[in-house]
Amino acid sequence: MQHTIDVLLDVKTTLGEGPIWDEASQRLFWIDSGDGRIFRSTAEGTELRAWEVGEQIGSMALFQDGSAFLAALKTGLFKVDIETGEKTLLNAINEGKDRVRLNDGKVDRQGRFIVGSMDMLEDDPLGELYSYASDGTLSVLDKGIICSNGPCFSPDGQTLYFSDTWAGEIWKYDYDPATGTASNRSVFAKVDTSEGGVADGATVDSEGFLWQALVYSGKIVRYDPDGNIDRSIDMPVLKATSLSFGGPDLDTLFVTSMAKPPLPRFPEDGQLRGSLFAVRGLGVTGIAEPRFGMSGV
């Protein structure tokens, strides 16, 4: 099937990340991790709005009632009021860890926020993978991670996919939806790094296939449930960072990118760097993303 790739918004995000389509409001949310901003628009790229959060942000989710963001900022987890922008600290996860910040996160089917941390120099295994529940409970699911990326879930919610970007692998865990525990980590797929690409953001479609952004090589790869490559898409920029299905029919793949690499050793990019892209005509649909605290906050 022939697909198209269009620039939805040329917002030049320093480090665009974490697109989330919110089905209830029919709006797309994404972040500029480097500049500390949360964006919102329609599926057509209209009605653009941005919120400043005052520090680096790794990911976000919407609270169940839609009144606030759950924001994974450098210094911890915050509740950010959508109307006023007021921030309330929920958990200072990274207190005293100067080189560590929170990075990619995703809500599980029961409303917990699964979020990882990273070494800001992307050298040492200083990061951890956490589960944060609406009652304030914080659990550690894994540790010894250089750069946490791509948490997402199988359609039945019983498999958690996750990457340490610099491991050259995508992992999967047995996930217990009732307790929120992750166990039996194994290698789901090896990442082809021959063109410089490494695993960044990811999502799972309604058929149970994993879509992975390979940042620095400009590729989006679709893996079947057994970890085999099913399809590969070349993006118009090298630094495509993350992706999420959305739109009224959940059949548009929204892809973020970065305008400026976080460290000098990473490659520069062309004129479309930092754009938000819409990939259409893929012939597959995504799964609606839950809000934080599905059972109440």
- Binding site for substrate, by residue number, is 101, 103
* Token pair recorded at residue 208: 């149970």
DSSP-assigned letter for residue 45: S
CA 7 to chain centroid: 19
Q: Which residues contact 80 (CB under 8 A, 6 or more apart)?
A: 38, 51, 53, 68, 69, 70, 71, 86, 87, 88
Q: Which residues contact 31 (CB under 8 A, 6 or more apart)?
A: 13, 16, 17, 18, 37, 38, 39, 57, 58, 59, 60
Give CB contacts under 8 A, 24+ apart, made by 87-93: 87/53, 87/54, 90/132, 90/136, 91/132, 91/136, 91/138, 93/117, 93/130, 93/138
The whole-angstrom separation of Cα 110 and Cα 178 is: 8
Residues serving a catalytic function are 200
* Binding-site entries for a divalent metal cation: 17, 149, 200
The whole-angstrom separation of Cα 126 and Cα 145 is: 6
* Closest listed residue to residue 91, CA positions, set 77, 111, 107, 75: 77
Question: What torsion, rounded to 10 degrees, do the Cα atoms 48, 201, 290, 118 define?
Answer: -100
